[in-house]
């Protein structure tokens, strides 16, 4: 899987590994074996050598016996035998670039964009959509956000000036005063689920 001689030579050229080696007396979990190869407990320390790490990741991910496992499985398999700084991140990045995984495992990803169509409502103001327009210049009354509430059937809208720091209780009061008072309580509210 990984050539010991190549690892030993690559470790000699890695500045991060030499920092660890120079401070071995302070590093309880690291040690050198009889061949001067650095280990982290029972795991081989893989130097910052792109071809070496790439070979390890390819073997763990694309061998005939592995069948393209996800990043979590690969990380757990590799971490029993190998260690390098940022290994979990590197494994996730490697798997995210695998074309086969992207084509086959697409159903596990969150739906994106506007690909899911919504049914047309039967009554006006029965189903609404809402969003917030933020980052606007502050007015004299300190309003810096517009709350946009749109009827999904007629596309008529209310543009409510609010402050970004309003509490959820204050927003509920405004919703009652400006939307429910005029149109009744909607049966569905659609949002884009932004943070």
Q: Tell me the average pLDDT across 31-47.
A: 87
- Architecture field, domain 4-108: Orthogonal Bundle (1.10)
Rounded-to-integer distance, Cα 126 and Cα 119, Å: 12
User: What integer is the mean pLDDT of 173-187?
Assistant: 96
Handedness of CA 74, 80, 82, 88 (dihedral sign): positive
| β pairing state of 127-133 and 188-190 | parallel
- pLDDT of 106 above 60: no
pLDDT at 194 (0 to 100): 58
Short-list 57, 98, 50, CA closest to 78: 57
Q: Where in the chain is the domain with CATH 3.30.420.10?
A: 127-190
Instruction: Classify residue 165 by its DSSP letter.
Output: T
Q: Higher confidence at residue 109 or residue 37?
A: 37
CA-based angle 30:31:34, to the nearest 5?
160
**Residue 40 in tokens:** 């982290």
**What mean pLDDT comes out for the span 40-64?**
86
CATH 1.10.340.70 range(s) for the chain read: 4-108
Work out the percent of the chain whose per-residue pLDDT is above 70.
87
User: Is 174 or 30 the better-scoring residue by pLDDT?
Assistant: 174
pLDDT value for 49: 86
Predicted confidence (pLDDT) at residue 186 exceeds the cutoff of 90 = yes
Residue 174, C-beta contacts closer than 8 angstroms, at least 6 positions apart: 147, 160, 162, 166
Tell me: the pLDDT tens digits for 118-147? 889 999 999 999 999 998 999 999 999 999
Main-chain phi, psi angles of 51, to 5 degrees: -65, -35
54-101 tens-digit pLDDT:
888 988 887 766 677 888 888 998 999 999 989 999 998 998 888 877
Tell me the fold of 127-190.
Answer: Nucleotidyltransferase; domain 5 (3.30.420)
pTM: predicted TM-score of the whole model, two decimal places = 0.50
Q: Which residues pair with 160 in a beta bridge?
A: 147
């Amino acid at each position: 899987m990984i050539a010991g001689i190549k690892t030993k030579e690559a470790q000699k050229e890695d500045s991060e590994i030499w920092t660890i080696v120079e401070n071995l007396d302070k590093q309880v979990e690291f040690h050198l074996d009889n061949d001067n190869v650095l280990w982290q407990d029972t795991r081989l320390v893989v130097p910052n050598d792109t071809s070496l790490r790439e070979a390890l990741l390819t073997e763990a991910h694309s061998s005939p016996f592995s069948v393209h496992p996800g990043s979590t499985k690969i990380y757990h398999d590799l971490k029993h035998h190998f260690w390098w700084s940022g290994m979990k991140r590197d494994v996730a990045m490697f798997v995210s670039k695998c074309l086969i995984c992207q084509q086959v495992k697409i159903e596990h990803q969150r739906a994106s964009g506007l690909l899911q169509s919504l049914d047309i409502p039967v009554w006006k103001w029965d189903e609404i959509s809402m969003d917030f327009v933020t980052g606007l210049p502050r007015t004299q009354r300190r309003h810096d956000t517009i709350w946009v509430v749109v009827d999904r059937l007629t596309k008529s809208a209310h543009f409510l000036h609010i402050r970004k720091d309003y509490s959820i209780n204050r927003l509920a009061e405004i919703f009652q005063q400006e939307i429910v008072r005029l149109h009744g309580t909607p049966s569905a509210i659609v949002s884009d689920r932004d943070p």
